[in-house]
Amino acid sequence: MAFALPTETYAGKVYEVTIGTDKTATFGGENVLPFHNFEGTIPHKPLIAYEIQDVPPEDWPETLRKVYEGKSADPVTWAKHCQDDLKAEAIALRLIGTHPDRENRSAEEAAKTVSDVLAAINVPLIILGSNNPDKDSQVLVAASEAAKGRNCIIGKAQESNHKTIVAAAMANNHKLVAMSELDINLSKQLNILITQMGFDKERIITDPMCSALGYGIEYSYSVMERIRLAALTQNDVIMQPPMMGDIGFYVWKVKEAQASESDLPQWGNLEQRAIGWEAATAAALLLSGAELLIMRHPEAVKTINSFIEELI
């Protein structure tokens, strides 16, 4: 009996998203499950953005902080370092300093940071708030205006604050991250709410919420797989935006990325463990459907780039 490879074809397709204006980056566009090139087309590789923030990374663990030592005191220097030295294809600026429990920087200060960073780089910029829904709805509006015309990604819009952020992204012609908490139905509902405001669904990036390896990654993994299956097999158009994994933010606060080898000898070398933690979290989410990754450690990025090269 002749053997027939059990390939499958899918009814749907992930939207292709292009960001930036000078140097652009494009991700999504595939009509198959992640890396299933044997049964469909994958026009673009996943995109990795280097994460920087508006305040010096004093809250980042030593292993990570030292990599950016001397280059992270201000966001402009930091962004240029990522673009020029680390060859970042995109940069994600997190406005963490605007959080009321942190430096509580104003929306105007945040907007200035965005303008300064944009003036210094030509790769695409992803602008992320501090995940404080109230503050984000002020900060991201100001940041959106400051970035007008640069075709950025603005995020994250959550159910509680999506109206102002969606309006700002729409008015200033940006893409938008829609974040819900680990539930396919909530994710779908948020995408519907956003499109009902007149925002084009092909400009959304879905963030079903990342979790770190060992800290609930199986939830993120399965929600992403289910969203992707709905997009491809059921051709559910509202589930077809590409997905984002906000990797570094969730990985670098877990114990495994911070505890020293002298405290926990059975866990082995801290630096490799922490880099491995970020890379393995990223790899798992790539395999479940993420096309856009926000990452921090250059070695983890390098590893994931090699992994992607082998998969494509």
Partner 1 sequence: MALSGVEIFKLLPKTNCKKCGHPTCLAFAMKLAQRQVSLDLCPDVSEEAKQKLGEASAPPIRPVSIGSGDRLIKMGEETVLFRHEKKFINPCAFAVEIKDTQSHEEIESITQEVIDSEIERVGQRLRIDAIFVSNASGDGAKLQEAVNIVLKKAPQVPLIIHTEDPTSAEGAAKIAKDNRPLLFGANEANAEAMAKVAKDLKIPLGVNAKGLEALSALTDKIKSLGVEDMVIDSGARTAKEILADNTCIRRAAIKKGIKALGYPIITFAQRSDAMLETMIASLGVAKYSSIVVLSSVQKWKSLVLFTLRQNIYTDPQVPMQVEQKIYKVGEPGQDAPLMITTNFSLTYFIVTGEIENSKVPARLAVMDSEGLSVLTAWAAGKFTASKIAAFIQESGIENEISNKELIIPGYVAILSGAIEDKLPGWKITVGPREANAIPTFLKTR
By the rule CB under 8 A, 304 interacts with partner 1:
yes
Tell me 15's DSSP state: P
| CA 229 remoteness from chain centre | 20
Residues 27 and 29: their CA atoms lie apart, in Å, by 7
Q: Does 312 bind partner 1 (CB under 8 A)?
A: yes
C-beta of 231: minimal distance to partner 1 in Å? 14
Segment lying near partner 1 (by CB under 8 A), choices 34-42, 74-82, 104-112, 191-199: 34-42
Cβ closest to partner 1, residue 54 vs residue 278: 278
Q: Residue 235: name the closest of 21, 9, 2, 4 by CA.
A: 9
Stretch that binds partner 1, among 17-25, 198-206, 237-245, 297-305 (CB under 8 A): 297-305
Stretch that binds partner 1, among 46-54, 116-124, 142-150, 268-276 (CB under 8 A): 268-276
Neighbours of 266 (CB within 10 A): 5
**56 sits near partner 1 (criterion: CB under 8 A):** no
Shortest CA distance to 52 belongs to which of 28, 73, 30, 24? 73
Instruction: Kindly determine how many residues on this chain lie close enough to bind partner 1 according to the rule CB under 8 A.
Output: 52
What gap in Å lies between CA 73 and CA 257, rounded to an integer?
A: 22
Looking at residue 296, the DSSP 8-state letter turns out to be: -
Which residue in 44, 174, 226, 296 binds partner 1 (CB under 8 A)? 226
Amino acid of residue 266: Q
User: Which candidate, 250, 255, 259, places its Cα nearest to that of 212?
Assistant: 250
**Which one of 84, 200, 218, 263 is in contact with partner 1 (CB under 8 A)?**
218
Min dist CB 134 to partner 1, Å, is 14
Question: In 52-171, which ranges are continuous DSSP H helix?
Answer: 62-65, 75-80, 107-120, 133-146, 162-171
| Closer Cβ to partner 1, 32 or 79, answer by number | 32
Is residue 180 within 8 A of residue 191, CB to CB? The reply is: no
Q: Shortest approach of partner 1 to residue 220 CB, angstroms?
A: 10
Q: What is the pattern of x (binds partner 1, CB under 8 A) and - over residues 181-200?
A: --------------------
Least distance between partner 1 and beta carbon 26 (Å): 21
Least distance CB 304 / partner 1 (angstroms)? 7
Residues 215, 219, 224, CA angle at the centre, nearest 5°?
A: 130
Whole-number minimum distance, CB 291 to partner 1, in Å?
A: 16
Alpha-helical regions (H) of 128-256: 133-146, 162-171, 184-196, 217-232, 247-251
Residue 268 binds partner 1 (CB under 8 A): yes
In angstroms, what CA-CA distances link 247 with 1, 87, 118, 195, 222?
46, 19, 23, 26, 16
For partner 1, the closer of residues 36 and 112 by Cβ is 36
Smallest gap, in angstroms, from Cβ of residue 236 to partner 1? 16
Least Cβ distance, residue 60 to partner 1 (angstroms)? 12
Q: Is residue 210 part of the contact set for partner 1 (CB under 8 A)? A: no
Q: Which residues bind partner 1 (CB under 8 A)?
A: 2-3, 5-8, 35-38, 101, 213-218, 221-222, 225-226, 229, 253-256, 258, 265-270, 272-273, 275-277, 279-280, 283-284, 287-288, 299, 303-304, 306-307, 310-312
